[in-house]
Structure 1
Amino acid sequence: MRVFVTGASGFIGSAIVQELLGTGHQVLGLARSEAAAQALIAAGAEAHPGSLEDLDSLRRGAAAADGVIHAAYGHDFSAYEAAGQADKLAIETLGSALAGSGRPLLVTAGLAGLALGRLGTEEDTPGPSPRLSEPAALALVAQGVRASVVRLAASVHDLGDLGFVPTLINIARQKGVAAYVGEGLNRWPAVHRLDAAHLFRLALEHGVAGARYHGVADEGVSMRELAAIIGRHLGVPVASKSPAEAADHFGWMARFVGMDMPASSALTQQQLAWHPSHKGLLADLEEGSYFK
């Protein structure tokens, strides 16, 4: 297949590109800069100049492809609602180029807040959220698009990660303490970046319209376990923070650090024969690359 990939030069997107190329697919990657374009070309992909805000570039990229993987998102937590609206418009634009064709459109979503306090599954539907990726994608099924969703774990980990866990490490380094909220028993799901990339390919090739797939290997790593490893590697104490103290200690991360959001990928593994095989989050942290 010739696959148009947004976010193709990013942390997750670059792994998806390598997974696709390594299994015989052709890749047309969205590139918003010359550096991104050169990275894609060096990887063996074709660069497609544009951005999420350049809707014409999205439309042309999707029209030139047999399928689309939408892995880009504007993670600006100071303008999260605007990012959600921009993503919705991008997905609708991609879908308009695929309407009536039955071609696949795979959209990335998240698991944060899906099923707080219990194990979330693919059958759960998300509540109201500024991130509109999932409803925007699934609305396209009625337009003849084989649209489906990959919900990624809160931590997608590997060398080069710039997400939640590195933020926790930086906070602990700056504050001189590795903290968790309350008893620290709340859990985050996690998945290795290469396992996630493999899932995207399987969902592109074999996924069904309207499906929700879970990119989850570790169903739930407790915040206390994370804090203990961070504290040991940084040589700082580990301590509990009350919910009232969390906002000052964690800043914008406070809303996520206290969430208990374990998730399962049992149905995804059964439906797509996807079996995560790379190291888990705690083993990845213990290797030390996150602390260099």
Structure 2
Amino acid sequence: MTVVTPPRVLTVAGSDSGGGAGIQADLKTMLANGVHGMSVIAAVTAQNSLGVQGYWELPPEAVRAQLDSVLGDIGAQAVKTGMLASPALVELVAEVLGAYDAPLVVDPVGVSKHGDTLLVPEAVDSLRTRLLPVATVVTPNLWEVEQLTSVKVEDEDGLRRAADAILELGPAWALIKGGHLPGEPVDLLTDGGAEYRFRAERHDNRHTHGTGCTLASAIASHLARGEEMPVAVAKAKEYVTGAIARGFPLGGGIGPVDHAWEWRTG
């Protein structure tokens, strides 16, 4: 029997003790999308289906040690970032990953699904000036677009304006997630020239915890497998749409998407 090492993807993010988002969602997504997931934990949250009860960022030296350990030995074909909490961590991660030769997917996490803040206000400028300029693709939702650029999107026509504002900050691609707009959900991907719109059915399911983490990790997984950006996003969208459709209740609040939906449905 021939044993083949799968592509490797690294997530740099926060730990979600409830298992629906963050590092836990990232690793489940990576396994489901055919890659070996690795993790650098930047923060630890006390979190469940009702919200985030607290979080504690790790010291920069602990985050750097994890990055050096994984990248120096195992390596990665793609990297995804999520919750980074503070300016010091954003700047450290930008420094290390900006010098690393692999696609970088940045999910600019600012708040949780429940509205809990996961990024201190002074770290937003570090995201703009340090991390986004070294990103291959940035995947903000509409609230994050407004936080980063002051552009407010109210309909589909505003998606390109939002994408252009994100691209001005330096990433190669912008994926603007329009799921919170009225009507049929649509996301816009562009590099400033080519433009791709991804539409999906809107599922009547409140259990959507972890959608942003899941989408970004799925994109990173397909980039690591050698797909071009539009194809990677299309495959990631198909995966996350299925996961949302099968999101399940957990605890007393908002449950997670089902990262194993393809296995459960055969």
Instruction: Name the TM tier (shorter chain).
Output: 0.3 to 0.5
- Relative to its length, the structure with more helix (as a share) is 1
Q: Which has the larger radius of gyration?
A: 1
Could you state the TM-score of these two structures normalised by the residue count of structure 2? Answer: 0.43
